[in-house]
């Protein structure tokens, strides 16, 4: 069994003008695809070859000798989750149970936005900013490189802050990309569907 690049949930130009077709051609078509290809090469003929992506990432997590396998498996999972965390016409304030949980956990939607934007802007180097559920509470966490949130934290949505996510459209202006993600792209329907 080899892993395949999942279908992008919208057309390559669907997030324009916020994220360009060119960015998605590279980010999805080259970077995400390369993680899939690399993973398949690394696990071919091993006991990991027949396992799901989640099982592979879990099995090698924390094993320095298998960092390459972890990084590629986790990056496949993280990118698939990231594409679903955005949609054309997304962004703005969520509603319903998700907004209630955001208000209860952060005080207000604006305070959530500040926490999420700060996490994304202060992740030094490559990584991810996540909205997660832990018990009844929502939290913002950031992770480095390919790392995923801790066990016990259910991811609701994620933002990629690797430079390849924004450099063609925003150059070094990561904060502008983050504001665009929150104001015009984040898929709150997806995040709400991930609530436990």
Smallest distance, Å, CB 31 to Mn ion?
5
By beta-carbon proximity to Mn ion, the closer residue of 20 and 103 is 20
Residues that bind Mn ion (CB under 5 A): 160, 162
Q: Which has the closest alpha carbon to 119: 110, 109, 128?
A: 128
Query: With respect to Mn ion, which residue has the nearer C-beta, 160 or 169?
Result: 160
CB 160 to Mn ion: min, Å: 4
Q: How far is the CB of 189 from Mn ion (least distance, A)?
A: 22
For Mn ion, give the closer residue by CB, 35 or 188: 35
By beta-carbon proximity to Mn ion, the closer residue of 14 and 49 is: 14
The set of residues, in sequence order, having a beta carbon less than 8 Å from that of 11 and lying 6+ positions away, is none
What gap in Å lies between CA 167 and CA 35, rounded to an integer? 19
Smallest gap from Cβ 162 to Mn ion, in A, equals 4
Q: Taking a C-beta distance cutoff of 8 angstroms, is the pair 150, 76 a contact? A: no
* Shortest Cβ 80–Mn ion spacing (Å): 11
Question: Per DSSP, what are the bridge partners of residue 158?
Answer: 130
CA distance 107 to 102: 7
Closest to Mn ion by CB, 81 vs 162, is 162
Long-range contacts made by residues 108-115, C-beta under 8 angstroms, separation at least 24?
Answer: 112/138, 112/140, 113/182, 115/140
CB-wise, 79 or 87, nearer to Mn ion? 79
Q: How far is the CB of 184 from Mn ion (least distance, A)?
A: 19
CB of 162 closer than 8 Å to CB of 126: yes
Tokens representing 67?
Answer: 């960092």
Could you list the beta-strand ranges (E) of 74-195.
127-134, 137-144, 154-160
Which residue's beta carbon is nearest to the bound Mn ion? 160
């Amino acid at each position: 069994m080899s892993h395949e690049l999942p279908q992008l949930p919208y057309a390559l130009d669907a997030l324009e003008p916020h994220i360009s077709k060119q960015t998605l051609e590279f980010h999805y078509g080259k970077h995400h695809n390369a993680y899939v290809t690399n993973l398949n090469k690394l696990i071919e003929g091993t006991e990991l070859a027949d396992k799901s992506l989640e099982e592979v990432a879990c099995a090698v997590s924390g094993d320095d000798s298998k960092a390459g396998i972890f990084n590629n498996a986790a990056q496949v999972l993280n990118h698939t989750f990231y594409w679903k965390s955005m949609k054309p016409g997304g962004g703005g304030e969520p509603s319903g149970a998700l907004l209630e949980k955001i208000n209860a956990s952060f005080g207000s939607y604006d305070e959530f936005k500040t926490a999420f934007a700060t996490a994304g802007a202060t992740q030094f180097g490559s990584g991810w900013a996540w909205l997660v559920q832990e018990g009844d509470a929502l939290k913002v966490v950031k992770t480095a490189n390919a790392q995923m949130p801790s066990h016990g934290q259910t991811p609701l949505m994620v933002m990629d802050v690797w430079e390849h996510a924004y450099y063609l459209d925003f150059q070094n202006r990561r904060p502008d990309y983050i504001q665009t993600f929150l104001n015009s792209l984040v898929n709150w329907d997806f995040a709400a569907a991930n609530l436990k």
